[in-house]
Amino acid sequence: MAAARELKARYVGLMDARQWDDWVELFAPDAVLDASEDMPFHGFEPKFGVVRGRDRIVAGSRGALDGTRSVHEVTELAIEVVRSNLVRATWAMTDRIEYADGRVLLGAGTYHDEYVCTDGRWQIQSTRLARTSLAWS
């Protein structure tokens, strides 16, 4: 489905470009981001990886990526039309995040997303990152 592909492409492109004012519009107001599987890698409990509400999602992502350079790449694995206004998609993901202190995070995994269409506009209702690898160099 073209709308799902475009939405995910904008998700990674706007995030890597740090265009937060546009990125926030990709999410439904009550969206959920679940990165709980990532938290132990960063020294936090998994519960701190579940973020509810698009403004909190943007604030958390902005804070986590502040001062970094990143490249996220996604590849479509599956897109399922559940209803005319609900789509589920799975994406293979790789990322590289370069920190100001010289550390580099190299990761891979899958995104598991749900998109909703309200008033003709597709938005992310939920996204879950399930990492298969994460390494620091």
Kindly report, residue by residue over 2-25, the tens digit of the pLDDT. 999 999 999 999 999 999 999 999
Q: How many residues does the chain have?
A: 137
Asked if residue 26 has pLDDT above 90, the reply is: yes
Residue linked to tokens 């938290």: 39
DSSP state of 15: H
pLDDT given for residue 44 in this prediction: 80
Contacts of 44 (CB under 8 A, 6+ apart): none
CATH architecture for the domain at 2-136:
Roll (3.10)
User: What's the order of all strands across the beta sheet hosting 69-83?
Assistant: 50-52, 27-34, 121-136, 104-118, 86-98, 69-83
In whole angstroms, how far apart are CA 115 and each of 30, 34, 53? 12, 15, 15
pLDDT given for residue 39 in this prediction: 79
